[in-house]
Chains A and B, each alone.
Chain A
Amino acid sequence: MTIASSQKAERGNISFVQSINEALRQEMERDPSVIVMGEDVSGAAGRKDQGFEDAWGGVFRLTKGLGPRFGPERVRDTPISEAGFIGAAVGAAATGLRPVVELMFVGFYGVCADQITNNAAKMHYMFGGKVKLPLTIITNTGIGAGAAAQHSETLYSIFTHFPGLKCVVPSDAYTAKGLMAAAIRDDDPVIIFLHKLLLGRTRAGLRQSEEYVVPEEPYIVPIGKANIAREGSDITLIGIGYTTVLCLQAAQELEKEGIDAEVVDLLSLSPMDEETVLSSVKKTRRVVITDEDYPRCSVASDLSALVAEEAFDYLDAPPKRVTPPHTPIPYSLALERLYPPTKEKILAAVKSVLE
């Protein structure tokens, strides 16, 4: 799948946040069974009667304007009760509603993990396929804002670990809108992970085509498909969400040195597009895997194992991972800066693989 060059500039760029917002609005217009729940997703906890509406629109403004458009029954502010309202979303989904719930920061999963990993992930299987759970969880990830150890995590590997959950990670406004719509239409529980540093961005910034914009009409980016964000022949860089941006920046830099890097934007962690990953690696014979999640038992190590097991004979060098260290996330900017994958770390990894 190549999506990079296919879009024409027919309207101004909309941001990642606006893309998510637009997908939500369009899916809600299309399908009355779509409802939205979360803390301050509208704002003021249902005080519309007192003149307060859309006071917040979600802390990241992902749901801005949906309250006035669809009313408090469909855009429901919740108490701070994640186990309760996410569990309620699972229950509602079992009847065919398509709830979209916001888990404000992924680190809050701890208080509602039971509903996600024991119920949402397993019900379809343990009830012999007799129930479907068309549920979407939106959550925010990532460092870069000084939010310290409990508000900066990535953690998608935890959910990828569970069979029955689907996990997607958009990397720009285009994939955000398409994956959001796909998640809502999907009959399984899907978690969509949104990186803080992507929220304000318009296009991926580094897509090859300057004309790359987000179409107004609804579309989906299929779950389970990776995207070749940049074609190349010398080395494969695998990006996930924000690290795709970093991979593209690194690829630009490498081009100046005559190194032609291919960038695979993974987009979907579960199910994972093994075919695209493997065929890219078999072509370039080298791979650098980037991931902002904790390094142990991670998507990066999963990818590394995949490549080692399935493409070993094609490799000119062992797979290399660029991840944070095995530590919690520090507050201090001086330390936080050291923590995640960066363009420089990716370039250094590429050098070591090419040596």
Chain B
Amino acid sequence: MKVLSKPVADKSKYMDLLRQMMLIRRFEEKASEMYMRGKIGGFLHLYIGEEAIATGVMSVLGPDDYVVSHYREHGHALARGMDPKVIMAELFGKATGSSGGKGGSMHLFDASRNFMGGYAIVGGQLPIAVGLALAAKYRREDRTVLCFFGDGAVNEGEFHESMNLASVWQLPVIFMLENNLYGMGSYVERTHAGGKDIYHVADAYKIPAAQVDGMDVLAVREATEEALKRVRTGSGPVFIEAMTYRFRGHSMADPVAYRESSELDQWRKEDPIEKFKVVALREEFVTDDELQGIEAGVQATVEAAIRFAEESPEPELDTLHDNVYA
């Protein structure tokens, strides 16, 4: 196990980070159970193993900053502070869900938190991020846009067009690449000509770039903090590549026949939650009792979300016709 980067000198911050990662983990474990029981339909893409990235990023992002994401966005939405109940209800397709059941797992949205949506066409969220940044700059607002995307998305034209636009127009975008080494079953080294260290692509667009350990919540936090400082000076976008691994299949339908189980075992040793627990205990920022307290609290939150989703009504049938036009 690699040693985590330097501790944040504030006990409550530690607890928050841990609680957040654990909430995402438990929420998704439960969601996967609900999927198996037919309560959740469509596609379900789990973020398990990658929790440190969303958690680290959101712990320093300002409330006015925008977030855009893809279809693997439960973790991003939770870390951004979206109500777990409302997310779970959306996964259940209920009227009380974030989009009234219209969107489901891949299309979470919360304007009140500037969480500007999950998009399911690979790469489709990148130009949206550029547009949000363009609007912020146009209005002279002090807002940054943080855009999540995967290693597979880098091979879409929209990625390159967005990088170029953001740089040419000096827009406040943080391109947050979650490199989990696979796009569906395709290994990054066989699909990306530049190999698995993707951040080099940013050079071509004169965008400053860094690679961080995406299994280390503090490293992600620190990298995001630095990126924010830089972007807020108005000098244009920043690119961060967080190296990570998804512990589960691409979606619930994935038999995961394209990687060795030993590879997964290796990465499980880097489990961002377990690693962080060790540090937190070692640094005495958290006691065993407190850990148990966090676990119990998180469980209760997830149970409440399930109950809320179960008990919520189905959408009214005529809402089918609502929201087609403004």
Contact = CB atoms under 8 A, between A and B. Distances in A.
A150 B107 CA distance: 10
Given A79-B191, A332-B314, A325 B320 contact: yes
Minimum-distance CB pairs A-B, first 8: A146-B41, A332-B101, A332-B93, A331-B104, A146-B42, A45-B186, A55-B258, A79-B155
A80 interface: yes
Interface in A107-154: 107-108, 110-111, 145-151
Contacts of B190: 44-47, 77
Interface stretch (A268-276, A298-306, A333-341): A333-341
Contact of A334 (B101, B103, B152): B101
Contacts of A147: 42-43
B156 interface: yes
A56 B123 CA distance: 22
Interface residues of A, number: 42
B93 A334 contact: yes
Given A81-B156, A334-B315, A338-B317, A56 B103 contact: no
Interface in A144-170: 145-151
18 contacts: A44-B190, A79-B186, A80-B123, A80-B152, A80-B153, A80-B183, A84-B155, A111-B123, A145-B41, A146-B41, A148-B103, A149-B102, A151-B43, A330-B102, A330-B320, A332-B101, A333-B93, A335-B93
A39 interface: yes
B120 interface: yes
Contact of B186 (A44, A107, A146, A330): A44
A108 B121 contact: yes
A44 B156 contact: no
A40 interface: yes
Interface string B95-129: 00101111110110000000000011111100000
Contacts of A332: 93-94, 97, 100-102, 104, 314-315
A149 B124 CA distance: 14
Interface in B256-283: 257-259
Interface residues of B, number: 46
A325 to B, nearest CB: 6
Nearest to B43: A147
Given A47-B258, A145-B42, A332-B102, A327 B187 contact: no
Given A43-B185, A46-B190, A81-B155, A327 B41 contact: no
* Interface of B: prevailing SS: loop
A83 interface: yes
A107 B121 contact: yes
Interface of B: 41-43, 90, 93-94, 97, 99-104, 106-107, 119-124, 152-153, 155-158, 183-187, 190-192, 253, 257-259, 314-315, 317, 319-321, 324
Contacts of A334: 93, 101, 314-315, 317
Given A148-B42, A333-B41, A56 B121 contact: no
Contacts of B94: 332
Given A80-B152, A149-B103, A325-B321, 14 more contacts: A44-B185, A45-B186, A47-B190, A55-B257, A79-B155, A148-B107, A330-B102, A331-B99, A331-B103, A331-B104, A332-B102, A333-B41, A334-B315, A335-B315
Interface string A57-99: 0010000000000000000011111111000000000000000
Contacts of A339: 320
Contact of A56 (B90, B119, B122, B184): B184
A325 B42 CA distance: 21
Given A107-B121, A332-B315, A148 B104 contact: yes
B258 A331 contact: no
Contacts of A326: 324
Nearest to A56: B185
A337 B6 CA distance: 53
Nearest to B91: A331
B122 to A, nearest CB: 5
A32 interface: no
